[in-house]
Structure 1
Amino acid sequence: MLDKAFDPAAMEARLYAAAEAAGVFSADPARPAAPFTIVIPPPNVTGSLHIGHALNNTLQDVLVRWRRMQGRDALWMPGTDHAGIATQMVVERLLAAQGQERRAMGREAFLRRVWEWKAESGGAITRQLRRLGASLDWPRERFTMDEGLSRAVIEVFVTLHKQGLIYRDRRLVNWDPKLLTAISDLEVESREVKGTLWTLRYPIEGAPGRFIQVATTRPETMLGDTAVAVHPDDPRFADLVGRFAILPLTGRRIPIIADAYSDPEKGTGAVKITPAHDFNDFEVGRRHGLPMPNVLDPEARICLEEIAGELAEIPGVAEPDFVRALAGQERFAARKAILEKLEALGLLEKAEPHTHQVPHGDRGGVPLEPRLTWQWYCDAATLARPAIEAVETGRTVFVPKQWENTFFAWMRDIQPWCISRQLWWGHQIPAWYGPDGHIFVERTQQEAEAAARAHYGREVALRRDEDVLDTWFSSALWPFSTLGWPERTPELAKHYPTDVLVTGFDIIFFWVARMMMMGLHFMGEVPFRHVVIHGLVRDERGQKMSKSKGNVMDPLELIDAYGADAVRFTLCALASPGRDIKLSKQRMEGYRAFATKLWNAARFLEMNGVRPDPAWKPADAKGMLARWLLEKADAAAFEANRSLEAFRFDDYASGLYAFLWNTYCDWFIEFAKPVLNGPDGPEKEEVRGVAQHVLGLALRLLHPVMPFVTAELWEKLGYGDAVALTTTPYPEGREAAAEAGAALVDQAIEAISAIRSARSTLNVPASAVLPLRVSGAQTQGIRAFAPQIMRLARVAEPEFVAAAAEGAGPGAFCAAMGAELFLPLAGVVDLAAERARLGKERARAEAERAKLEAKLANPGFRAKAEEAVVAETEERLQDAAAEIARLDAALTRIAN
């Protein structure tokens, strides 16, 4: 007998451990079954499960469990990412707490310590994924720094270098002066900062008393200015183009150039060009062949090595000694000193408050510096072309399709990809330097030494490049490196390309696109057939979750409170294509109640003698109630499959919710109660038979999204072993068919629902048993199920008449599939008072709708209000319209 109370905590860990131990989550390339493959977006080894992970992995698990039950050889590849910067930071903090520092330790000792940390503490997220119920093929778990994946990374780097697609270049990068490394665009966080816009006066050479004014938020970089740019068509500066300005403080002559980058409508119309410290200026510098001196060192301190020989003494303009004294000063301290000196020289025109976006490192937390450094680059433009073509021709399809435009926009304007990082934790670049700087890129040091001997004709000492590769480089190989490439493994042969990638829109550029490029280049085929993009999980008001707002929801805490099934079902039910998810604990509570409802219904049936009966044949069912339920179950199975085929997780969940809660629990069981409570006989046996058959089918339909409660009921009720449900065939179903007998049940249900709605709207006392008059050409369902209608709608035995309302006095109209129902209400309800009450409610709802429509029609509101506030207002407008429609329907029911 099932326990009286449904307790997720009592079953989840036990059921998951049993399934994992039984190996039912594992694929087998030797099986003749068709493959179905998903690779997990590898979470950082430093990470813990957050609500975005919970959404992403729930959707993947639903697909994998569904395909596994369909008989596919389903492989869900697990693994974690080494997360270069994040992991190095974690370990460095641990070392600092012990009074140690990585540079003092040396590279080898530090890396040993990182591996120790990874073995002891890394990968907590994989344990947390188990709590969520994720049915990953754990024996195949990979790590981006494991031996096999490292071999793949080296093979790709060396091959691309020999093909001319990886090269070394001196370009600007986003530089973190705290972490002392280049970082990817993904790790750049723009923050709004209240700063100052300073206007500086640069003297014109040979024109005493004449200046060109430039505005800047970063006066400390002026030491590296190599030009002033003006727009070619700006008449204010036409006579200055080709002449020189004198750079204050340094005395260096810098040309005044014409370039469309300068906007005549902004600032002074002239801009200082500092190619080594601004991305736009770098491009201007390249177009005009300008020098590009660095004036900030890796820690963002003033360095003068590249301009020291160009300092000149010019009274009132340039002071070399002052500039030399800046060497080694931190950038913001230098800024203050420079501004004070410019003001003293009369070269600071003005300072204005200025709010602007300043790039910060998302991990270091300090303002970043565009920095000109030697780095390794990948020719992304060449690799992008086949990837663009693959999406254009439909070999890879984005769901929703509009995300293809995002993909194309970035890929068609792709820039060289900086793949090197100045870290110790990561894949060290397989490049060695000879005594003269000649570079040897090989798979091993032995191969590099052999190449050096061939080049120099003798033995030479080689120095290995100390940089490591961007984390995204190794994760770009994930779909094929995890399957054993560069070896031709059975897994690779069977499971590449993968079927689906489920991910967030925020990494389309940084991961999805790069997997497309690498997969096509090295495998000759797209890495996945579909890319399913889900939205962000926001709070119930539509605001982005953040610790500062205090609205973060921890999925592990939610699992503790509501159970993994409820968390999974909520996320699935809210995952509408193209929309962010507004998550609330109320929804979790509602879906926890859904699991409880299923449990209680199963317990009720068990108490009434319903047991699994494999011999029971649906084709033998004759009664209307049984045929109706079988038809609904077939349709629910058909729609579940169709929804999952289309990646409509919300439709899948909502369809099963409606079928189980409404059709099975509310209507079928309520209609069946008199039969189950009655004498034994063929009718009771049929009701028991269809109840057990459809409950078993429902458990299978629901298993992909609610694996724990379904497995527990499957075993406890006697359908089979809990673990076996994982591979039990998934029902196929069929499209809804209009069966005459089943339609009669629908008519009875519609009658009950209409009567209940009328009673509620008109405040009919719950204890009142109302007369019911029925007319119309189609009344068979009401006749056949009159006892159920009487019991469930609290009405007297129906009176079948020619005209339901004729001669019946005041009352309320209802309709039910061709039948007209009338509820005489004389002496029960004051209909005039109810009409007045409903009219007042409608007037209030109409006023609310008008107010909200006016608010949304105001362009100022839409421009200034937060996105979440606008969305909430639109929802309130929809609610007001729905309330008006409800009240209108209620008013039309009332008859004098």
Structure 2
Amino acid sequence: MTEETANMLDKTFDPAGIEAKWYGHWEANNLFRPERPDAAPFTIVNPPPNVTGSLHIGHALDNTLQDIVIRYERLRGKDALWVVGTDHAGIATQMVVERQMEARQDKRTNYTREGFIEKVWEWKAESGGTITGQLRRLGCSMDWSREQFTMDPHFTKAVVKVFVDLYNQGLIYRDKRLVNWDPKLKTAISDLEVETREVQGNFWRFRYPLADGVRLADGSDHIVVATTRPETMLADMAVAVHPEDERYASVVGKEVILPITGRRIKIVPDEHADPALGTGAVKITPGHDFNDFEVGKRAGIAANQMLNMLDADAHVVQVADGLIPDEFIGMERFDARKAVVARLKATPHGEGSLLVPHVTKNKEGEEVEHDAEPRTIQTPYGDRGGVVIEPWLTDQWYVNAAVLAQKPIEAVRSGAIEIVPKTWEKTFFNWMENIQPWCVSRQLWWGHRIPAWYGFNKDESGVPVAWRPGSDSPNPSVNDVQVPFVAETFEEAQVLARKYYDGIQSDAQFEAVPDASAGGLSLVGGFVPLWRDSDVLDTWFSSALWPFATLGWPDEDAPLLKKHYPNDLLVSGFDILFFWDARMAMQGIHFMKEVPWKKLYLHGLVRAADGAKMSKSKGNVVDPLGLIDQYGADALRFFMAAMESQGRDVKMDEKRVEGYRNFATKLWNAARFCQSNGIVASTSVTAPAATSAVNKWIIGEVVETVTALDKAMAELRFDAAAGTIYQFVWNSFCDWYIELIKGSFDEETKAVAGWVLDQILVMLHPFMPFVTEELWSKLGARKHELIVAAWPAPDAQVDAEAKREVEWLIALIGNLRGAKVELGLAPGSRLTAYLPDPSEATRGIITRNPVAIDRLARLDAIHFAPAPAGAAMQVGAGDANIVVPLEGLIDVGAEKARLAKALAASEKERDSLDKRLSNPAFVEKAKPEAIDKARADHAHHSAEATRLAAALARLG
């Protein structure tokens, strides 16, 4: 497509055909990253979508914004690299494959770990590229030639190295702590994968008898505790009361006898207990509640002493002290809840039972007892498993995030990382300064397996516990302390193990075994057993390396790494600020000694039209692919940009999407008009010479538009950038310039019009790449495609005189047309105007533009004389107040009455809404959508009142 003759544009704009044609052409010709070895780099990485995913409306927003930036920088001549890839999505992918197996009456456990992973790779090869095809439909100009996957060998190498290095630096360790446990998936999950739902539950109150005859100050022989999870009392280890709560001061340090188990537990002072909440006494189950875990630690209970009463399926198991009665063992947790309540209700205590009833009154005023008080409870659910999450005490791998967080905090404070909008900095600092250890292990088969091997602890002779070469029955306990050997390979782990076991012979053999139980059997044969950790790493751990591992690290001499790290910008939803963005900052600074990106842009969520969060259960989810099918990708992209205002969510509005399709159609028709009048592609980057005011004016408008666009893009004001180009194309070019030059297509005008249309296509291209590329190709012979064209450099100035002249004409024509509409005059009706004593500048404008005034303003003449007596309207233009006689055209009295009545109605509505919006009670209590509607109505009636008042003023 280098020197071919321009083809006439079709009468109808058809987005679908254009999009399919041009995307394939761009990708096939490597135009997303043209060879620019000497150009300045500009780099962004996409938040890698799950390999299982499909394009949702949030992806559409996130990737549209990135594509606008990368296309803009490419047009500015940068070596623009947009790194693309997908995330292996450990839990989601394993679930997808297991569901497919279930449909075939198959299951994961029918295979070895390696066999199952082969099934996952087969699934990826067949079905794992859905979202990448959908990103192409959106128009994303990513460097697909270097598409990444977090399970690729080069990426896996980086992940393993990071884990081993952090471990050797003391920043990764193994610890026993509470995690969010999904009993269905049988794995720990991150906070991001937990969704809180409001569930109708109960609040039970129980009596815990005081031990050794101790009584409270009021004489009670028990403490009443309240809970929403009665089953956990089987593993209670303390009762907490506030240190300043006088009701319990005499029993702090004493014990209660726990019902059912008979366990004696202490009453401990802790500020976690709120004297004003419930009874002020709180049961503490440190092995099954995050708050209780911290209380337990403060009370001196070590994590390895905390009781764990549930297995991975959330069924009751015996605890270390063996005090849970056999009848509860094996019960599912919610069945155990019912059984515990029933047992306590049946156990007498004083005049009642250990269950304290909840008392209400019926309609007759009589007291009625209930087992529990109904409560709406915020309950955690796994977003994929769909079951209630259980806080569960397990051994997991943790990153010392508090240490790694220090450098990113400093980077944001110093400005090395700029967060946009700046308002997010406070949230960032608050989270990072209070960051908790990061659990990075997951109990899955699919993912990066943790590079750690275990062996039995050594005894005093430096050999594995009870290991004796040639012994027939060493019989080690699999519960013996195990020591980890963290290394990138099994061979390296053996070296570490040989060094650790300093009592074994130099020729002792190591054996890789499946687990500790198999390790015990290995000892019989005289081998030193090592078994690999069965867990995999949290997906966020690997994706935290995205800005540098995708560029070739750990090869520090990789050309891409040298040129494109640090990245220039990261565009991300605010909802993954901590789960991904902050962790990239931690890992990037730690391993690269430099920030991963210079600027972090956080956008909002795309919400339903009423402002509600989209969800499948509400039925308000919008499919971006459906919008592309209906209106085209360009229209959806422009909507996303125009609605993206820093710090605010985007409200979905299909009418606006349709409106931007109409915008593309308007440009298409304007280009067709130009083409049909001999206006073709420009051969100049700089502005052509111009002598007429209208041509000078439109060149100046291009200059101002480019300046405003550059400013908006530098500030990442996508809404301002979209609004700038929209106003220029629709108003300045289509509505006014084309109207003003009709019938005057001299060579100068053709040259200017062709140049301006080219500038429009280049400036609009980042927002609407498909329609602009098509128009670029059809308007004349080109040396290159629009995607790799040059950003506008007009090398021209705004001509103030020409600007004043054309804006005067636009004001006259626009105000006169508006006045006709207000007064009910036909748009084509011809009028005569009068302007006594015009300024010299105004007189000159009128004198130089009789054709435009006659054709567009529909004025026979503007007489420089006083208007004749009688009814008239006044129309402003610049410093002129032009009088247009209305005698015989309308009933002025009736029109004044109509306008006055309409004005009074609008003012009444405006003032009423103003009063409502000024009322704090309304603003605080009303639903957000009601407030938004009131504000919109207020703006409408305010504008209408202003318009009607102006119309009345025109009539004199």
Band the TM-score falls in, shorter-chain normalisation: over 0.9
Query: Which secondary structure does the structure 2 equivalent of 1:768 belong to?
Result: coil
Query: Which secondary structure does the structure 1 equivalent of 2:67 belong to?
Result: helix
Could you give the per-residue CA deviations for residues 873-893 of structure 1, whole angstroms, max 9, x where no partner exists?
A: 333333333333223333322
Q: Does 1:422 align with 2:433?
A: no
| CA apart distance, 1:535 | 1.2
In percent, how many aligned pairs have the same letter?
Answer: 53
**What is the distance in 2 between the residues matched to 1:719 and 1:539?**
44
Contact 1:273–1:281, Cα closer than 8 Å, also in 2 = yes
Could you give the per-residue CA deviations for residues 607-661 of structure 1, whole angstroms, max 9, x where no partner exists?
A: 1111224269745311111111111111111211221111111111111111111
Cα gap change, 1:615 to 1:871, in 2 (>3 Å): closer
Aligned position for 2:513: none
| Structure 1 segment 29-48 matched on structure 2, within 5 A | 31-48=37-54
Contact 1:166–1:377, Cα closer than 8 Å, also in 2 = yes
Match of 1:622 among 666, 691, 704: 691
**What is the distance in 2 between the residues matched to 1:866 and 1:613?**
54
Aligned position for 2:245: 234
Aligned position for 1:305: 319
Could you give the per-residue CA deviations for residues 76-98 of structure 1, whole angstroms, max 9, x where no partner exists?
A: 00000001111111111000001
**What is the distance in 2 between the residues matched to 1:385 and 1:368?**
31
**What is the distance in 1 between the residues matched to 2:56 and 2:795?**
38
Which amino acid in the other structure matches residue 34 of structure 1? A
Contact 1:422–1:468, Cα closer than 8 Å, also in 2 = yes
**What is the distance in 2 between the residues matched to 1:165 and 1:792?**
74
**What is the distance in 2 between the residues matched to 1:749 and 1:838?**
25
**What is the distance in 1 between the residues matched to 2:292 and 2:684?**
79
| CA apart distance, 1:864 | 4.1
Aligned position for 2:327: 325
Contact 1:541–1:869, Cα closer than 8 Å, also in 2 = no
Aligned position for 1:515: 584
Contact 2:45–2:83, Cα closer than 8 Å, also in 1 = yes
TM-score by length of 2: 0.89
Match of 2:173 among 167, 171, 193: 167
| CA apart distance, 1:146 | 0.5
Which amino acid in the other structure matches residue 327 of structure 2? A
Match of 1:691 among 753, 761, 764: 753
Aligned position for 1:347: 354
**What is the distance in 2 between the residues matched to 1:380 and 1:245?**
38
Aligned position for 2:932: 871
Q: Does 1:480 align with 2:548?
A: yes
Cα gap change, 1:112 to 1:642, in 2 (>3 Å): same
| CA apart distance, 1:857 | 4.2
Q: Does 1:893 align with 2:951?
A: no
**What is the distance in 2 between the residues matched to 1:756 and 1:808?**
23
Which amino acid in the other structure matches residue 854 of structure 2? M
| CA apart distance, 1:738 | 4.8
**What is the distance in 2 between the residues matched to 1:383 and 1:618?**
53
Cα gap change, 1:716 to 1:619, in 2 (>3 Å): closer
Which amino acid in the other structure matches residue 452 of structure 2? A
Contact 1:542–1:871, Cα closer than 8 Å, also in 2 = no
Q: Does 1:602 align with 2:671?
A: yes
| Structure 1 segment 433-832 matched on structure 2, within 5 A | 433-436=454-457, 437-456=482-501, 457=504, 458-459=508-509, 460-488=528-556, 489-614=558-683, 618-676=687-745, 684-720=746-782, 724-733=785-794, 737-775=798-836, 776-777=838-839, 778-779=841-842, 780-801=844-865, 803=866, 806-832=867-893
**What is the distance in 2 between the residues matched to 1:296 and 1:832?**
87
**What is the distance in 1 between the residues matched to 2:794 and 2:273?**
65
**What is the distance in 1 between the residues matched to 2:547 and 2:284?**
43
Which amino acid in the other structure matches residue 82 of structure 2? W
Cα gap change, 1:852 to 1:636, in 2 (>3 Å): same
Aligned position for 1:408: 429
| CA apart distance, 1:705 | 1.1
Match of 1:394 among 410, 415, 425: 415
**What is the distance in 2 between the residues matched to 1:408 and 1:759?**
58
Contact 1:421–1:468, Cα closer than 8 Å, also in 2 = yes
Q: Does 1:16 align with 2:23?
A: yes
Could you give the per-residue CA deviations for residues 587-625 of structure 1, whole angstroms, max 9, x where no partner exists?
A: 111111111111111111111111224269745311111
Gaps of 5+ in 1: 312-322, 677-683
Query: Which secondary structure does the structure 2 equivalent of 1:593 belong to?
Result: helix
Q: Does 1:134 align with 2:148?
A: no
Contact 2:9–2:672, Cα closer than 8 Å, also in 1 = yes
| CA apart distance, 1:123 | 2.0
**What is the distance in 1 between the residues matched to 2:455 and 2:490?**
12
Contact 2:701–2:798, Cα closer than 8 Å, also in 1 = no
Query: Which secondary structure does the structure 2 equivalent of 1:620 belong to?
Result: coil
Contact 1:431–1:440, Cα closer than 8 Å, also in 2 = yes
**What is the distance in 2 between the residues matched to 1:188 and 1:586?**
35
Aligned position for 2:14: 7
| CA apart distance, 1:27 | 5.7
Contact 1:636–1:733, Cα closer than 8 Å, also in 2 = no
Which amino acid in the other structure matches residue 427 of structure 1? H
Contact 2:57–2:623, Cα closer than 8 Å, also in 1 = yes
Which amino acid in the other structure matches residue 553 of structure 2? W
Aligned position for 2:310: 296
Aligned position for 1:318: none
Aligned position for 1:314: none
> After alignment, is 556-565 or 520-529 more displaced?
556-565
| CA apart distance, 1:734 | 7.1
Query: Which secondary structure does the structure 1 equivalent of 2:206 belong to?
Result: strand
Could you give the per-residue CA deviations for residues 557-585 of structure 1, whole angstroms, max 9, x where no partner exists?
A: 11111111111111111111111112211
Contact 2:831–2:884, Cα closer than 8 Å, also in 1 = yes
Cα gap change, 1:452 to 1:370, in 2 (>3 Å): same
Which amino acid in the other structure matches residue 32 of structure 1? D
Which amino acid in the other structure matches residue 730 of structure 2? W
In the alignment of these two chains, the number of paired residues is: 871
Contact 1:428–1:468, Cα closer than 8 Å, also in 2 = yes
Query: Which secondary structure does the structure 2 equivalent of 1:197 belong to?
Result: strand
> After alignment, is 498-507 or 711-720 more displaced?
711-720
Which amino acid in the other structure matches residue 79 of structure 2? D
**What is the distance in 1 between the residues matched to 2:913 and 2:313?**
53
Cα RMSD (Å) of the superposition? 1.7
> After alignment, is 450-459 or 293-302 more displaced?
450-459
Could you give the per-residue CA deviations for residues 321-367 of structure 1, whole angstroms, max 9, x where no partner exists?
A: xx321111111111111111111111111211111211111111111
**What is the distance in 1 between the residues matched to 2:617 and 2:891?**
54
**What is the distance in 2 between the residues matched to 1:194 and 1:839?**
57
Contact 1:613–1:692, Cα closer than 8 Å, also in 2 = yes
**What is the distance in 1 between the residues matched to 2:789 and 2:285?**
66
Query: Which secondary structure does the structure 2 equivalent of 1:365 belong to?
Result: coil
Which amino acid in the other structure matches residue 836 of structure 1? A
Aligned position for 1:679: none
Which amino acid in the other structure matches residue 404 of structure 1? E
| Structure 1 segment 40-439 matched on structure 2, within 5 A | 40-205=46-211, 206-207=213-214, 210-290=221-301, 291-308=305-322, 310=323, 323-345=325-347, 346-350=353-357, 351-436=372-457, 437-439=482-484
Cα gap change, 1:615 to 1:78, in 2 (>3 Å): closer
**What is the distance in 2 between the residues matched to 1:796 and 1:201?**
97
Gaps of 5+ in 2: 1-7, 348-352, 358-371, 458-481, 510-527
**What is the distance in 1 between the residues matched to 2:734 and 2:230?**
72
Query: Which secondary structure does the structure 1 equivalent of 2:54 belong to?
Result: coil
**What is the distance in 1 between the residues matched to 2:684 and 2:111?**
72
